[in-house]
Amino acid sequence: MATWQILVILVKILVIVGLFQGAVAYMIMLERKIAAWAQDRVGPNRAGPFGLLQPLADGAKMLLKEDVIPGYVNRPIYVLAPAIAIVAATIGFAVVPFGPVGSDAPTVNGHAIEFQIAPNVDIGILYVFAIGSLAVYAVILGGWASNNKYSFLGGLRNSAQIISYEIPLGLSVIGMVMMARSLDLGEIMSWQEQNGLGFIPAWGILVQPLGCLIFLISAFAETNRLPFDLAEAEQELVGGFHTEYSAMKFGMFFLGEYLHVITVSFLMSILFLGGWDPLFFDLSSNGWIPAVIKVGVLFFKVFLMVVFIMWIRWTLPRFRYDQLMNLAWKAMIPLALLNLIVTMILLQIFRGIG
Amino acid sequence: MKLDDPNLKRVEPPKLTLFEKTYLPQILGGLAVTGRHILGAAVGGKAITVQYPEEQHVPSANYRGVHRLNKDEQGRVKCVACMLCATACPAHCIDIVGATAPPEWDDREKYPESFVIDELRCIYCGMCEEACPVDAIELTGLYDLTGLSREEMIYDKTKLLSVFDMTKDAEPMQSGNPPATLALPTSPLEPGGPGPRSSSSADMPSRS
């Protein structure tokens, strides 16, 4: 690999990690704003114009607050857990294409610049799920290392939830994978782009509606967002696995959670919302301008997904723990299997005829 | 009422269709409601909260905020150091040191040499106000009571009198401005009222 290629990859990593971690700060502000609007309030508007400096104030507070480490915790693991949360959430972006990849990618001096940190990873989607499930270590180690019954039970509860919802999450995308015949996220996107019927696109939400719904619900549970945020139900459950965490270490768990929200929004946009397909005009040509438009379209869809996730938060009440488990095991997994079987049969029939 | 009572009306919950059992229509309806609120507040400016430092909330007339010590027409403190407020106070936050009134104050024997209220202990029940025979202590509508230290929150006589100067125009003294119900000439409840007493007044509970 030439030096310039390594440089390009490093620049991509810096841009993506910096962009998303900065976006997380503003997502927290957006979350607070949407929370306020849903309750007919105004929301944070003190720091800077329209409150736009609020994330800086929040960050300064996180860093400057007293960082308490109780004497009875298992120190190395206690410190490690929030780091795992962040790392697991960050490295998932490696295979997420945020712009044209492969033959669509724009070129510089005949070399393609692909908008993906690790392009051409055939197992893209498996990698994202594998990395995403590492987040459960942060939860259970954090709960265990806190050496506190409430935290431990909270960690167990939450890890059971994350693992349970991993199953329908994985099953729900297999339908899409079977149709596109690839695990590569870029391939799945281009399949959606190329297989529309006239003006009707072959977006995942239309060809796999049940899979889309199951993916969406599981994604909420995976990211610990409402209505599945038992881990954060402060008053009822004594804060769950992060009871003993304060200041920036607590903040890191949430940074991880918000990064997870971005990852899930990317997956949702790529798998089920057509990725960078702008729907109303054709962008199949190569070059920098279509590439930039594609990145913009994809980011816009991701933004809409993030807003939707926050919107849901102020609409649905929190699940009780047994309801949460019932939903996963008794409703979502059978439905996901059903979806899989029906997709399989239909694919056999149509491919057999065709 | 017994369970087999013929008058008992049984209400069956409405049967849900299969679509409704998925809760999707309800969820969509909920999203519509919150979406309306989000758009209303974000775009339509329909936020209903008071923007506090810019807009001041005006509490209702019977709100009980910071105390004040009233002054009479000559600018003297009205209090006669009778200790009734301190006795009535359930939180024991009023501390009065009485002294013999100066000879030129011919309407009273005593006056408060020091009058201290610990605003942090006070529960703002208004019993001191009720107990005071000369309407010297009153609770004002001032609610933004803040201080940087505990000492700052212990209000002495000077501070309590300055609260009076601050609020006397906005909130006139109750004794100087009797409530409208007392001034009604035909009120049957007023024993000394000039109006003719109705026969039904005998059924009214008498005021003690």
Q: What is the pLDDT of residue A240?
A: 76
- Preceding amide of A227 cis, omega within 30: yes
CB contact under 8 A, B41 and A37: yes
CB contact under 8 A, A38 and B42: no
Is residue A236 very low, low, confident or very high in pLDDT (cuts 50, 70, 90)? low
How confident is the model at residue B90, as a pLDDT? 95
Flag whether residue A46 sits within 8 Å of chain B, measured between CB atoms.
Answer: no
**Does residue B88 or residue A154 have the better pLDDT?**
B88
* Span A155-208, pLDDT tens digits: 888 888 888 888 999 899 898 888 888 888 888 888 887 777 767 778 888 888
pLDDT at B181: 47
CB contact under 8 Å between B41 and A34, yes or no, is no
Res. A234 pLDDT band, cuts 50 70 90: low
Quickly state the pLDDT bin for B192 (edges 50, 70, 90). Answer: very low
Do A175 and A90 meet the contact criterion of CB atoms below 8 Å apart? no
Q: Which chain B residue has its CA at the smallest distance from A335's CA?
A: B22
Q: Which tokens is A221 given?
A: 């549970």
Q: Could you tell me which chain A residue has the CA closest to the CA of B46?
A: A40
Give the number of other Cβ atoms within 10 Å of residue A46's Cβ: 9
Residues 124-163 of B with CB under 8 A from A: none
* Interface check A314 vs B, CB under 8 A: yes
Q: How far is B35 from chain A (nearest CA, A)?
A: 7
* Residue in B31, B33, B37 closest to A37 by CB: B37
Query: Which residue in A226, A221, A238 sits closest to A318, CA to CA?
Result: A226
Give the pLDDT confidence score for residue A105 in this predicted structure: 73
Q: Average pLDDT in the A29-35 region? A: 90
Nearest CA in chain A to B41: A37
pLDDT computed for residue B74 by the predictor: 87
pLDDT (tens digit per residue) in B114-155: 999 999 999 999 999 999 999 999 999 888 888 899 999 999
pLDDT of residue B201: 40
pLDDT category, B21, cuts 50, 70, 90?
confident
Residue A353, Cβ neighbours under 10 Å: how many?
6
Angle at A289 between CA A283 and CA A290, to 5 degrees: 15
Give the residue from chain A lying closest to B32, CA to CA: A315
Distance CA B88, CA B67 (A): 15
pLDDT at A22: 84
- Owner of token pair 């190569």: A286
What does the pLDDT look like over A36-79, one tens digit per residue?
999 988 888 888 888 889 888 988 988 898 888 888 888 999 99
* Residue scoring higher pLDDT (A235 or B14): B14
Mutation target among A33, A37, A306 for the B interface, most CBs of B within 10 A: A37
Output the pLDDT for position B148: 92
The partner residue sitting opposite B38, judged by closest CB among A34, A42, A316, is A34
DSSP 3-state of B160: helix
CB within 8 A of A5, min separation 6: which ones? Answer: A111
- Rounded distance between C-alpha atoms, residue A221 and residue A329, angstroms: 13
Q: Which residues, 6+ apart, have CB-to-CB distance to A289 below 8 Å? A: none
Residue A54: its H or E element:
helix A54-64
pLDDT confidence band for B30 (50 / 70 / 90): very high
- Rounded Cα–Cα distance for residues B7 and B171 (Å): 57
The three-point CA angle A192-A193-A194 to 5° equals: 95
pLDDT band at A136 (very low <50, low <70, confident <90, very high): confident
Give residue B25's identity as a one-letter amino acid code.
Answer: P
Tokens for B180?
């409208």
Question: So what's the pLDDT on residue B51?
Answer: 83
pLDDT digits (tens, 9 = 90+) for B54-75: 888 888 888 999 999 999 888 8
Checking if the pLDDT of A97 tops 60, the result is: yes
Contact A37 B30 (CB under 8 A): no
Instruction: Give residue-wise pLDDT tens across range B81-124.
Output: 999 999 999 999 999 999 999 988 888 899 999 999 999 999 99
| pLDDT of B195 | 39
Write out pLDDT tens, residues A288-299: 788 888 888 889
Is B27 in the A-facing interface, judged by CB distances under 8 Å?
yes
Model confidence at A226: pLDDT above 80: no
Q: What is the mean pLDDT of chain A?
A: 85
- Residue B41 and residue A316: Cβ atoms within 8 Å? no
Min distance B22 CA to chain A CA atoms (Å) = 10
Instruction: Calculate mean pLDDT across residues A85-114.
Output: 79
| The pLDDT of residue A231 is above 90 | no
Q: Would you say residue A334 has pLDDT above 90?
A: yes
Closest chain A residue to the Cα of B30, Cα to Cα? A315
Asked if A25 is an interface residue toward chain B (Cβ–Cβ < 8 A), one would say: no
For residue B188, the model assigns a pLDDT of 43
Phi-psi region of B46 (alpha: psi -120 to 50; beta: other; left: phi over 0): alpha
- Closest Cβ opposite residue B30 in set A34, A40, A316: A316
Q: Looking at the complex, report in whole angstroms how far the Cα of residue B55 sits from the nearest Cα belonging to chain A.
A: 14
Alpha-helical regions (H) of A92-208: 124-132, 135-145, 149-180, 185-194, 204-207
Residue B58 is encoded by which pair of tokens? 């005006």
Of residues A37, A312, A315, nearest to B42 (C-beta) = A37
Query: Where are the alpha helices (H) located in chain B, listed in sequence order?
Result: 18-21, 24-42, 84-88, 127-131, 157-167, 180-183
Is B42 an 8 Å CB contact of chain A?
yes
Per-residue pLDDT at A108 exceeds 80: no
Q: Which of B30, B35, B49 sits opposite A42 (nearest CB)?
A: B49
- For residue A311, the distance in angstroms to the closest alpha carbon of chain B comes to 7
Write the single-letter amino acid at B142.
L
Q: What is the pTM of this model?
A: 0.77
**The pLDDT value given to residue B98:** 92
